[in-house]
Amino acid sequence: MAKTKRIITILLRLLAFGATLTATVVMVTSHDSAEVLNLKFSAKYTNSPAFKFYVIAEAIASGYGLIALFLCSKSSVERLIVILDVVVAMLLTSSISAALAEAEIGKKGNSHAGWLPICGQVPKFCDHVTGALIAGFAAAIVYLVLNLYSLLVVLAPLFPVKP
């Protein structure tokens, strides 16, 4: 039974690592340019603090995921990893929220503030951002499942089942 739990944990960690790494790479490679009224402008993730935060958070989660992948079998740091998993899940959730709000403005604009949508002019950029956000959502969901499973595994010895 312990081997099964370890395999499930490793698979979940691999999925989380893959999703966060994908989100980071896709967002970093998102750029496009357009010419509007003889003015050329370029759209890239570095133009937005929310997108920068998203990239940094996903990169931190990727690095942590890689380290945790190798440490998850060590029982001495098991509880610390569970706590850090929760912290990373919250970091991912906040960064996705910020990036999603920014993406919504890019897609639909904001008539109250006079901001026009830009996705019509730079569709390649918007497609990359959408892909990165989908990968980020997948990572957050995997971390949620990982957190629930880790809590079950770590807390199970505290509540033994009587035969």
Can you tell me the mean pLDDT for 30-48? 79
Can you tell me the mean pLDDT for 26-47? 81
Q: What share of the chain in percent tops pLDDT 70?
A: 93
pLDDT tens, position by position, 56-96: 999 999 999 999 888 876 667 777 888 899 999 999 999 99
pLDDT tens, position by position, 112-148: 777 777 778 888 888 989 999 999 999 999 999 999 9
The DSSP secondary structure of 58-121, one letter per residue, reads HHHHHHHHHHHHHHTT-GGGHHHHHHHHHHHHHHHHHHHHHHHHHHHHHHH-BTTTTBPP-TTT
On the question of pLDDT at 6 being above 60, the answer is yes
Give the model's confidence band at 1: pLDDT under 50 very low, under 70 low, under 90 confident, else very high.
low
Give the model's confidence band at 48: pLDDT under 50 very low, under 70 low, under 90 confident, else very high.
confident
